[in-house]
Structure 1
Amino acid sequence: MKLIHLSDLSASDVAAIWSLVDTPGPALQGTVAWSFEGNGIRTRTTFIQAFRELGLEFIELPNLLKTAEPVADLAGYLDPFYALYVVRESDHDRLAAFARASSRPVINAMSGRGHPCEVLTDACYIDRSIKPLNAATICLWGPTTNVFRSWHELAAVLGFTLIQVCDERHHDATLPVRFRTSAPEYADVVITDGWPAGSEAGATALDAPHLARMGSPALLPTPPFGLGRELLIDPLEYPGFVGYRQKMLLLAVQKAILRYLLPA
């Protein structure tokens, strides 16, 4: 099984992964191929810790997919040495092609079109700590990003209510989500993400009046967030901020994903 898009999963897959978050399990066997483009300080920290806690060896392969070598050749040569790949790669299409070519599980640790592990973590937190997802209204604030695309995919899998607020020029008819140009009258959670390059025109930063109009929902800003850009309110000054400790769940969910894709 691969995890390149959240649409690769079924609702039962998501439930099974979340069920492993609090369930102790045996150590896993094998070596992980680990390739990580960019900083990603939170995701890098928690994945490495997850490998260690699960007893997995890991070998870093810098810029695994940055070569001109065909992905079929990379997979053919490397698959005998590795039990699983965890790859952060901006070129989503090349990552997806490598996953198709490999006989091993491949986890997207972030690409230009998705951030499935981050969104599975945040959704798990919302479901457990704020409101069951099947009864929740989630508002995405701002232009579409890789994180937001993963939210669209998860909403299609699980069937919860998702609204995205952004300027009309950023509405995307290919995404199965309700787009709005202004704040809805109610939301349980508002999620922001860093604006894509070039999307500043027409983009509206989230401020205190917007949050008040929505009934003072929980605020889950996807880090790293920039004050004065996507956010005009300091999360630390907002009572509904989920807090820094919310991201500690990354470790537990990433371990659960690894256990689900690579059974002992």
Structure 2
Amino acid sequence: MAVSANLDFLEFHDLSAGAIAAILDRAGALGQAWRERRMPKSLEGRRIALIVDDGGWRNTTAFDLGIQAMGGICTHVPASLGGREAIADLAGYLDNWFDMIVIRTPDLAALRELAANARAPVINARTRSNHPCETLGDLAYVDSKRGGIEGLKIVGVAPDANILRSWVEASISLPIEVVQVYPDVWHVNDPALLNPNFRLSTDMRELEDADVIFTDSWPGGAPEGEVADYRISAEVLDRCRQDAIFIPCPPVARGQEVTAEAMTHPACRSTAAKAFLLHAQNALMEWIAARPELNASR
């Protein structure tokens, strides 16, 4: 079990600022290699389990594609952390065959239990509590455009949910400022996430000097009148910095958290940013595969 202790990526701040910087830098290089169709075979011989226990398609498809492009063996495992097998037993069975486990599953606590019992490093491909790979991909895109991330002001117009929480996790370990702008009732109040680089606001003027703006879906069952003032429109984006990067989180509900016009505004980089999900995840897997402590165990 000790092998995976420092190599799991369950929450964004599991990795140090230095490790994240290296991964972001490498994501840019792998993005260029992808475009030139000359991907390195840095996962050659690695056997990676891909478990999709909670729907979705973007990042799990990117994991599958990236593993193959870098020479690894990807196997879709039809397992569940909520199934009949005890999680500790499942971890042992997976360790028999795999060098790494990528899993998208609802419950972060169950994912932690899997990681605690597995020797193979575990990557969180999304839970209902957080989505660290999504944030890693967005940061890789921003890094490629800005040449770094230090000192960025990142504003999330979003409720307390998995997208926002992963940005808050990132603020724990990275030199960035994250601001949640939303009505008080949906503010993050988890003591484990509160830190000096994260603050709360209800003021949409926070967007005007932001480097990066992101959104998430409206909270389920929320009356439109309570959240309509937090809808991102082209007019809102016109008041922001000319070099601001707007990344609405898919699936985007036009007419709810964003307007249709906001999606065609020059600041909106959703498609370009999400391309980096592949490159960042590839860089993460490559970084894990290259760690001496993992190779010593093989």
Superposed pair shares fold, TM > 0.5: yes
1:215 to 215, 222, 241: 241
- SS for the counterpart of 1:133 is coil
Q: Is 1:14 aligned with 2:20?
A: yes
- Normalised to the residue count of structure 2, the TM-score between the two structures is 0.82
Counterpart of 2:252, as a letter, is F
- Greater helix content: 2
Counterpart in the other structure of 2:150: 134
Counterpart in the other structure of 2:256: 229
Deviations 1:97-150 (A, max 9, x none): 111111110000001111111111101111221463213211100212211111
Extract structure 1 runs of 4+ deviating beyond 6 A. none
In the TM superposition, 1:1-264 aligns within 5 A as: 1-21=7-27, 22=29, 25-28=40-43, 29-130=45-146, 132-174=148-190, 175-176=193-194, 177-183=198-204, 184=206, 185-200=208-223, 202-203=226-227, 204-215=230-241, 217-263=244-290
CA distance in structure 1 between the partners assigned to 2:103 and 2:223 by the alignment: 29
Counterpart of 2:202, as a letter, is T
Aligned pair count reads 264
- SS for the counterpart of 1:206 is coil
CA distance in structure 2 between the partners assigned to 1:80 and 1:140 by the alignment: 41
Residue pair 2:48, 2:72 contacting (<8 A) in 1 also: yes
Counterpart of 1:8, as a letter, is D
- SS for the counterpart of 1:20 is helix
- SS for the counterpart of 2:150 is helix
- SS for the counterpart of 2:178 is strand
Deviations 1:238-260 (A, max 9, x none): 11111413322122111111111
CA distance in structure 2 between the partners assigned to 1:194 and 1:156 by the alignment: 24
CA distance in structure 1 between the partners assigned to 2:40 and 2:68 by the alignment: 14
Counterpart of 2:210, as a letter, is A
Deviations 1:154-187 (A, max 9, x none): 1111121111110011122334221111211421
CA distance in structure 2 between the partners assigned to 1:142 and 1:187 by the alignment: 15
- SS for the counterpart of 1:135 is coil
Seq. identity, %: 30
- Normalised to the residue count of structure 1, the TM-score between the two structures is 0.92
Counterpart of 1:138, as a letter, is I
Deviations 1:219-255 (A, max 9, x none): 1111111101111243443111114133221221111
Structure 1: runs of 5 or more not aligned: none
Mark the CA change 1:140 to 1:68 in structure 2 (over 3 Å): closer, same or farther: same
CA distance in structure 1 between the partners assigned to 2:160 and 2:223 by the alignment: 12
Residue pair 1:194, 1:230 contacting (<8 A) in 2 also: yes
Residue pair 1:35, 1:62 contacting (<8 A) in 2 also: yes
Deviations 1:60-85 (A, max 9, x none): 11243121322111112221111110
Q: RMSD of the alignment, in Å?
A: 2.0
Report deviation, 1:18. 2.0
Mark the CA change 1:41 to 1:169 in structure 2 (over 3 Å): closer, same or farther: same
Counterpart of 1:242, as a letter, is R
Residue pair 2:25, 2:140 contacting (<8 A) in 1 also: no
Moved more, 209-218 or 72-81: 209-218
Structure 2: runs of 5 or more not aligned: 1-6, 31-38
Residue pair 1:85, 1:107 contacting (<8 A) in 2 also: yes
Counterpart of 2:136, as a letter, is L
Residue pair 1:105, 1:262 contacting (<8 A) in 2 also: no
- SS for the counterpart of 2:247 is strand
Residue pair 1:191, 1:220 contacting (<8 A) in 2 also: yes
CA distance in structure 2 between the partners assigned to 1:244 and 1:3 by the alignment: 25
Residue pair 1:219, 1:235 contacting (<8 A) in 2 also: no
Counterpart of 2:10, as a letter, is I
CA distance in structure 2 between the partners assigned to 1:36 and 1:116 by the alignment: 16
Residue pair 1:3, 1:106 contacting (<8 A) in 2 also: yes
